[in-house]
Amino acid sequence: MIDVGIIGASGYTGGELLRFLSKHPHVEIVAATSRKYAGKPINRVHPHLQDLELEFSDVDIDNIDADLIFTATPHGASMKIVPRILEQGMRVVDLSGDYRFDNIKTYEKWYGIKHEGSLDAVYGLPEIYRDKIRDAHLVANPGCFPTGAILACIPLVYERLAETFIIDSKTGVSGAGIKPTTVTHYPNCSDNVIPYNVTDHRHTPEIRQELSKKYQVSVSFTPHLVPVIRGILTTVHTFLKEDLTPRELESIYSGFYEGEPFIKIIEDGEMPRLSAVRGSNECHIGCFEIDDNGRAVIISAIDNLVKGASGQAIQNMNIMFGFDEKTSLDIPAVHP
Residues assigned a catalytic role: 144
In this structure, the number of other CB atoms found within 10 A of the CB of residue 179 comes to 8
CA distance 226 to 289: 24
CA distance 11 to 245: 44
The residues pairing with 27 across neighbouring beta strands, listed in sequence order, are 2
Dihedral of alpha carbons 114, 116, 117, 121, sign? negative
Q: How far is the CB of 333 from its own copies (least distance, A)?
A: 4
Between 91 and 170, name the residue whose CB sits nearer to its own copies: 170
Q: How far is the CB of 91 from its own copies (least distance, A)?
A: 25
Q: How far is the CB of 144 from its own copies (least distance, A)?
A: 14
The residues pairing with 6 across neighbouring beta strands, listed in sequence order, are 32, 70
CA distance 255 to 154: 12
Q: How far is the CB of 328 from its own copies (least distance, A)?
A: 10
Half-sphere exposure of 34 (CA within 13 A, CB side): 21
CB 155 within 8 A of CB 252: yes
The string over 246-279, giving b where at least 16 C-beta atoms fall within 10 Å of a residue's C-beta and e elsewhere, is: eeebbebbeebbeebbbbbbbeeeeebbbebbbb
Q: How, if at all, do strands 27-32 and 2-7 pair?
A: parallel
Between 81 and 290, name the residue whose CB sits nearer to its own copies: 290
Between 48 and 214, name the residue whose CB sits nearer to its own copies: 48
CA distance 214 to 198: 26
CB 144 within 8 A of CB 175: yes
Angstrom distances, CA of residue 267 to CA of 115, 263, 271: 44, 13, 8
Between 49 and 119, name the residue whose CB sits nearer to its own copies: 49
The string over 144-162, giving b where at least 16 C-beta atoms fall within 10 Å of a residue's C-beta and e elsewhere, is: bbbbbbbbbbbbbbebebb
Q: How far is the CB of 314 from its own copies (least distance, A)?
A: 14
Between 88 and 245, name the residue whose CB sits nearer to its own copies: 245
Between 91 and 201, name the residue whose CB sits nearer to its own copies: 201
